[in-house]
Amino acid sequence: MKPAPFAYVRPASRAEAVGLLAEHGDDGKVLAGGQSLVAAMNFRLARPGVLIDINGVRDLDFLRAEDRWLRIGALTRHAAFHKEVIGGPLGALLGKVVRHIAHYPIRQRGTFTGSLAHADPASEWCLVATTLGAQMHVAGPAGERVCAAGDFFKGTFTTALGSRDLLTEVRLPVLGENWRSGFYEFSRRAGDFALAMALAALRIEGGLIREARLGVGGVSDRALRLSSLEAELVGKAPQPQLFADIAEAARAQIKPSADIHASPAYRSDLIRTVVKRALAQAAA
Amino acid sequence: MTEKHAITLNVNGRDYTISVEPRRTLADAVRDDCGLTGTHLGCEHGVCGACTIIVGGKPVRSCLMFAVQAAGEKIRTVEGLAKGEELHPLQKAFWENHGLQCGFCTPGFLMLAAGALEENPDLDEAELRELLSSNLCRCTGYQNIIKAVRAAAVEMRACQPSANP
Amino acid sequence: MSWIGRPHLRLEDPALVRGQGHYVADLARGAAVVKFVRSPVAAGRILGIEKPDHGLVFTASDLAGLKPIRPILHRPDYVPVDYPVLAAERVMFTGQAVAMVVDEDAHAAEDLAEQVFIDIDAEDPVVNFETALGPDAPRVHAHAPGNVLVEGRMRTPGLDAALSEAAEVVSLKLRSARQSAMPLEGRGGVCRFDAVTGRVTLSASVQMPHMLRTGICDVMGIAESDLRVIAPDVGGGFGQKMSLFPEYVALVWLARHLRRDVAWIEDRRENFLASAHSRDQAFEVKGAFSRDGVLLGLDADLLSNVGAFSCYPVTCGVEPLMALAELPGPYKVREYGARSRGVTTNTCMMAPYRGVARPMLTFTMERMMDVAAARLGIDPVEIRRRNLIETFPHRSPTGLVYDEGSYKEAMEVAVKALDIPSFRKRQAAARAEGRYLGVGFSVFSERTGYGTPAYAARGMDIVPGYEVVACAMDPSGFVEARIGSSPHGQGLKTALAQLIADELGVEPAKVRVISGDTDATPYGWGTFASRSMVIAGGACKLAAGKIATRLKIIAAAMLETRPDDIELSDGLARAINTNRTLPIPELARAAYHQSHKFPEAGPGLSDSATYDPPGTFSNACHACVVEVDIETGGVTIERFVVAEDAGILINPMIVDGQIHGGVAQGIANALFEELVYDETGNLLTVSLADYLPPTIAEMPTIEIEHLVTLSDATITKAKGVGEGGTIGAPAAVINAVCDALKPFGVEIFEIPATPQRIRDLIRASGQPS
C-alpha cells in the first residue's frame, strides 16, 4: 500500500502556499497533519499530483484568544488541546472532546483545521465548529473570506473550500462563565469514529437555561446543529424529563445514515441516547 | 516514479543522507534507507501503531508521514533506546514482565510509551490505559504490556525530576 | 534445582526489545519486489489479461508445469478442489491472485500492477449458506454438487429415543460471523537465489517451514533439496500462517525463473482479502434433557463456510470434522448425532484460526446449558455439575478418549472466585437503578498435543503429528536442540530450554533451541493445535534424556558408582547421598575426547528422539461479569476469571501470556470482529478502521487460577494450552450478556454480539418486565 507518485513542495509563507494552490488547483492538495490524507494516499484512494506541505508556514502556527474568539491557526495540532488552551467553559469543552479524537500519536500531527477541511461526518471538531457557530477563515486566489460554519459543511468530505482555497484559521466563539458543556460519544472502540455523538452547551442562570447550543454528529453526511431544539431549551429548567423530550425530538428530526457499523434504526436510538447524555452532562 | 529529494534524516543522533521520492513514507525511509528495521509496518493506515517512532519529541505514526517532511527533525527509533549494552527501563520492563510474545508490536509500544512518559512521567492508571489504547497487540491481550509500562514509569520517574516537585 | 515451573524470562526477548528481531520484511534488502494483481470480483470467467508494454508481468500461462494446490482427505464425502497458483480460467473469490509483477521496489511494483487489466465476465457469486445450499444454487466448483466439499455424519442408535423421551428438548440456532486471525505481521517471503547451485532459500513468515517446503516442491515438481525454507521471527500466526498459499509457490517460481532474489510482503488489505478466514459457522442443535437437567441426547446440523478453496495440508475438513468430533465437549452425553458440512462459497478460503471449531461449539453447548437451566428451573452451575465428565478415561460417542481432567473442579474454582451470591445482590441493586449487570461462564475441554493418530483418523493425506528433536551437547557442555517445530511468538525456545535444562542439569542459558530452518532441523511440523509443550516438549525430554543417560554412564565411571545413582543438577553430576561431584562440562569433554574409556556412552553426546502421542485434553472454565448499556448496546467487561488446568506448566509466565492473548481474541470474537462480504462478494472490511480487533481499552484484567491434573498421555506432564483463551471466552461473555438482559428476555445466539445487534434485540423485546 504505497502512494501513487506526486511532486512535493514546501512553501515558507502563507502567500506562497496560496500561490501554489492557485497554480496547481485540482491537482494540488494541502498537507497539514496528514493523518487522514496520507492514509487515503497509501490506499491510493487519494492521488494528488502535487502535495503542498504547509507545515513550514510558521505564521499559520498560532492558537490564541482574541476578543471573544479563540483563534486556531492551521498548524494547531489536536494535541495542543490536551491542556486547557483557554480558561472557562470553552477550554473545558475542547479538553473534554479532544480525548475522543483518534489516539495520542495521531493527535500529535493531526490539525484542528485539517479536520474541518476534511469534513468527515464523524469528526468531533466538525461537530464543535457546527454547534458553536465557528467562523472559517479562507485564503484563496481572490483573497480572503470568512465563512460561517452553517455555510461551510456541505456533505461527506465536502466543504465550501474550492480546490484553490486554504483554510488558514478557525475561530470559535468564547463561551462566557455561565456556560456549561456536555459531550457524549458512542463508538465501537476507544478512538474509533463516532457512531453517534452529541455536544450540548447551556448557559444556565437563575436555575433556567438562557441560551443553548445543541449538535449531533456521526449520524448524517455532516454534523447537525439542532437550532429548533436549542430554542425549545431556552427558558426551561434543566431537568431529566426535558432532556428526554429534547432527545426524542432530536431522534424524530433526523434521518440517520447507514453503513456497516450502524443501521438507520440503531443510529436513531443512539441519537436519542447521546443527546440525552450530553445534555445531562452539561447540566451536572 | 518522481524526482528524488536528497534529504538528511537525523535518527538516534546520527545523520543519514538519503535520496528518496516524496512518496516514500518516513517508516519506509527509516527501515530501508537507514537500515533500521526495528520499526515495523502492520497496516500502513495509522491504526495499528507498529510504526510508532518519536519525531521532534512526539510519538507519531511514521506510516502517515513522508520522509521529506522529517528532514531536520530529531527522530528516535527503538534502536536508539538502549545505551549500548544497557537497556532502557521500558525495554527491561517489557522483558521482565513478559510484555511481548511475537515482538512485532513491541517497538511501536516502546516508542509510544517512551515519548509519552518523557513528556509526562506522572501519567496515572487511566491515562496510561488511554495512551496504550493507541496501539494494537494481537498476542498479549495487553495485560503484561501495561504492567511493564507501569513498572518502567516508576523507574523513569526515579531518574527524572518530576514535572511537579 | 528444577527449571520446570519457573517463570523464566524469555531468551528471545533481548533481541526483540532492541528491535533486532528479523521478520521477513527485514530480510528483503536488495531483492526485487513482487506484487500480485488480484481479482476485483468474486466469481467469473477470465476473458483476457492486458499487460503494459514493459515490465515483468506474469500470468498463469507463464506457469505451465505448476500443479495447483490440492489438499486431500481420504474419505468418500470429500471433494478435492484445485487452488491454482495464479487463476487461469476462472476467478473464485475477490482478491484471488490472477497475475504478478516484479519491479525494483514496492512503489514501482504497485505502479506496474495498476497497469495490468484483468477482463472478467463476472457472474453472480455464491456468498453465504442460504445461497450455497438453496435448491437452484449455482455451483461454486463445477464438480462439487450442492456446494458441499466435505460432509461427516454420525448417529448413535439411541438418539431418536432420547429425543422423543426427553422432558425438555432445547432447539437452538447459533451463528458465528466470519473472522480473521489477523496477525499483526502479514504474510510474506523473501527468496534468495543461489546462482551457483540453482538453489532457492525462501524465508517466509510461517508456522510450518518443513510442510511449506514439501508443499511448494510438490506443486513445482522439484526435489525438496532444491529448496530451503526458513521461518525467521514470525509476527504472530494463530493458525493463519499454517497453510500453503499460492503466493509462496509463485515467489519460488519467480526466483528460479528470473534467477534473482525476489520478495513479497503483503499489505494489510491483502491480508484481509486473500490470506485465510475462519469462524464462519451456523449450527443447529437439539439437546434432549431429562427433568433433572441431564443431557441425554444431542442432535446437530453443523455448517462451516469454507470459502472457495481447501487449505493445505489440513484441508477444508478441519473445522467441519473437528466440530463433528468434539461438539459434546466436556459433557458426558451418550447419544449423539450430527451432520457436519463444509460449504464452499466465492469467498476467501477458510483455514485454522486458534480454537478451530471449538469456540463455536463451546458457544453452542454453553448457551444450551444456560437455556436448559432456565427452562428447567435449575441453577446454571448445577446443571453443568450434572453433566460434566467426571470419570476417566472418558470415551465420547465420537470415539475421542478424554484423559484425566478437572472439568467440575475448574468450574467450582471459577464460580467461587466470582462469588455469585454477592454478585446477585449487586445485580439486583443495580437493576433497581436501571443498570444491567450479568454473570456468565463457560466450561470446555481443549484437545491438545495429539499426534499422527488423530490426523490419520480424519483421513488426511499428509498426516502431521510427530515431532523430532536432535539434541547435542558439545565438548564445552553447551546444548543445542534442533526442533522440527517452529514458533511464532510463544516463547518455545525458552520453555523447551527449561525442559532440556532440567533433564541435563544445566541452566537454560546454556541451551540453544534451533528452529525454523529446514536445512538445520529435522523434519517436523510446527506450532498449531496447542501441541508444543506436549509434543516438541516430549521429544526434547526424550532426546535430552538419552544424552543424560550417556552423561550418567560417564559420571558413574568417573565417580565409581552406578549410573542409577547419579543425579544431574545445577551444572554438576552428583553421586547421590555423597558430596562427590563432577562439573558437567568435564563429562562432556570426556565423552568426546576420552570416549575409549566409556564405550557404552559415546563417542560424543548426540541423540535424536521422536514423540507422537495420542493426545491429551486440558480444560478450563471462563467466567465473567459484564455491564450492558441497554441504550447503546455497549458491553463493558468488568471481570474475567479463568480457571485453567493444563497439567504441569513448564513456564507459568508464558502460559498466562497465552491465556491473556487467547481471551483477548475470544472477547473480540464475542463482541467486535466481523468480516463482511456484501451480496456481490465484495469484502467490505479491508482495513483496521472497519475490522475491529480490541485495544487495551476494551479488555478486562484477566484473573487466572491454575489447577494441575497429571495425565499419562503426555510425558512432560504438560498439556497444551495455547488455544484455550479463544475457546471459552465467547461463550462466557455472551452468557453474561444474556444474564444481564434477563429482564428483557433477550437471548443471544449470534456472535459477534455487536452493540447494534444487542440494541435491536432489546428494542424488539419491549420494556423490561
**What are the tens digits of pLDDT across the range C117-142?**
999 999 999 999 999 999 999 999 99
From CA C634, how far away is CA A266, in angstroms rounded? 12
C127 secondary structure, DSSP code: -
Would you place residue C340 in the very low, low, confident or very high pLDDT band (cuts 50, 70, 90)?
very high
Topology, domain A179-283: Enolase-like; domain 1 (3.30.390)
Q: Which residues of chain B have a CB within 8 Å of the CB of C19? A: 36-39, 77-79, 106-107
Query: Is residue C690 less than 8 Å (CB to CB) from chain A?
Result: yes
Chain mean pLDDT for chain A: 97
Query: Is residue C54 less than 8 Å (CB to CB) from chain B?
Result: no
Topology, domain B5-80: Ubiquitin-like (UB roll) (3.10.20)
Predicted confidence (pLDDT) per residue in C39-68, tens digit:
999 999 999 999 999 999 999 999 988 999
Q: Using an 8 Å Cβ cutoff, are A211 and A203 in contact?
A: yes
From CA C152, how far away is CA C763, in angstroms rounded? 39
Nearest CA in chain A to B46: A39
Least CB–CB distance from B5: residue in A8, A42, A109: A8
Pairing type for strands A143-148 and A135-140 reads: antiparallel
From CA A189, how far away is CA A186, in angstroms rounded? 9
**How far away is chain B from the Cα of C412, in angstroms, using its nearest Cα?**
25
Predicted confidence (pLDDT) per residue in C376-428, tens digit:
999 999 999 999 999 999 999 999 999 999 999 999 999 999 999 999 999 99
Q: CB under 8 Å to C311, separation ≥6 — which residues?
A: C71, C242, C243, C276, C318, C349, C350, C351, C352
pLDDT exceeds cutoff 70 at C507:
yes
CATH number for the segment(s) A7-55? 3.30.43.10
Query: Is residue A3 less than 8 Å (CB to CB) from chain B?
Result: yes
Chain mean pLDDT for chain B: 95
**How far away is chain A from the Cα of B77, in angstroms, using its nearest Cα?**
14
- The pLDDT of residue C556: 95
User: ∠C25-C26-C27 over CA atoms, to 5°?
Assistant: 90
Cross-chain Cβ contact A266/C633 below 8 Å: yes
Q: Which residues pair with residue A31 across a beta bridge?
A: A53
Cross-chain Cβ contact B91/C654 below 8 Å: no
Q: Using an 8 Å Cβ cutoff, are C220 and C252 in contact?
A: yes
Q: Which residue, among A27, A83, A104, A189, would best test binding to B if mutated, counting the most B CBs under 10 Å from its CB?
A: A104
Q: Using an 8 Å Cβ cutoff, are A8 and B68 in contact?
A: yes
Q: At which residue does the C-alpha cell 437451566 appear?
A: C373
Q: CB under 8 Å to C399, separation ≥6 — which residues?
A: C325
Pairing type for strands C32-38 and C262-265 reads: parallel
Q: Using an 8 Å Cβ cutoff, are C186 and C275 in contact?
A: yes
**How far away is chain A from the Cα of B57, in angstroms, using its nearest Cα?**
10
From CA C281, how far away is CA C302, in angstroms rounded? 7
User: ∠C305-C306-C312 over CA atoms, to 5°?
Assistant: 165
Across C173-192, average pLDDT: 98
- The pLDDT of residue C455: 87
**How far away is chain A from the Cα of C107, in angstroms, using its nearest Cα?**
6
Would you place residue B162 in the very low, low, confident or very high pLDDT band (cuts 50, 70, 90)?
low
* Cα within 13 Å of Cα(C51), Cβ side: 13
CB < 8 Å from C in window 2-61 of A = 2-5, 43-44
Q: CB under 8 Å to C57, separation ≥6 — which residues?
A: C51, C99, C100, C101, C112, C116
Which alpha helices (H) appear in C222-329, and where do they start and end?
246-258, 268-274, 318-326
Predicted confidence (pLDDT) per residue in C69-80, tens digit:
999 999 999 999
Pairing type for strands A166-173 and C467-473 reads: unpaired
From CA C346, how far away is CA C126, in angstroms rounded? 5
Q: Which residue, among B53, B101, B112, would best test binding to C if mutated, counting the most C CBs under 10 Å from its CB?
A: B101
- The pLDDT of residue B161: 60
pTM of the entire structure?
0.97
Nearest CA in chain A to B116: A104
Q: Using an 8 Å Cβ cutoff, are C665 and C183 in contact?
A: no
Q: Which residues of chain B have a CB within 8 Å of the CB of C185? A: 40, 42, 102, 104
Does domain A63-173 bear CATH number 3.30.465.10?
A: yes
Cross-chain Cβ contact B49/A51 below 8 Å: no
Query: Is residue B104 less than 8 Å (CB to CB) from chain C?
Result: yes
Query: Is residue A187 less than 8 Å (CB to CB) from chain C?
Result: no
Which alpha helices (H) appear in C575-623, and where do they start and end?
584-593
Give the 3-state secondary structure percentages of chain A, helix then strand then coil, rounded to 5.
40, 30, 35
Would you place residue C314 in the very low, low, confident or very high pLDDT band (cuts 50, 70, 90)?
very high
From CA A129, how far away is CA A134, in angstroms rounded? 5
Chain mean pLDDT for chain C: 96
pLDDT exceeds cutoff 90 at C347:
yes
Residue intervals of chain B classified under CATH 1.10.150.120 are 89-159
Chain centroid, CA C173 distance in Å: 25
pLDDT exceeds cutoff 80 at C718:
yes
Show me where the domains of chain A are located. 7-55, 63-173, 179-283
Would you place residue B1 in the very low, low, confident or very high pLDDT band (cuts 50, 70, 90)?
low
Query: Is residue B24 less than 8 Å (CB to CB) from chain C?
Result: yes
Q: Which residues of chain A have a CB within 8 Å of the CB of B23? A: 2-6, 41
pLDDT exceeds cutoff 90 at C528:
no
- The pLDDT of residue C768: 60
Pairing type for strands A179-186 and A196-205 reads: antiparallel
| Enclosing H/E stretch for C263 | strand C262-265
Q: Which residues of chain A have a CB within 8 Å of the CB of B25? A: 2-3, 38, 42
Across C163-188, average pLDDT: 98
- The pLDDT of residue C473: 97
Across B29-42, average pLDDT: 98
From the number of C-beta atoms within 10 Å of its C-beta (0-12, 13-18, 19+), residue B85 rates as exposed
* Cα within 13 Å of Cα(C292), Cβ side: 5
Superfamily of domain B89-159, CATH level 4: [2Fe-2S]-binding domain (1.10.150.120)
From CA A205, how far away is CA A188, in angstroms rounded? 37
pLDDT exceeds cutoff 50 at C670:
yes
Q: Which residues of chain B have a CB within 8 Å of the CB of C488? A: 102
Cross-chain Cβ contact B23/A39 below 8 Å: no
C350 secondary structure, DSSP code: B
Q: Which residues of chain B have a CB within 8 Å of the CB of A4? A: 23
- The pLDDT of residue B165: 45
**How far away is chain B from the Cα of C523, in angstroms, using its nearest Cα?**
23
Residue intervals of chain B classified under CATH 3.10.20.30 are 5-80
Least CB–CB distance from A266: residue in C111, C269, C760: C760
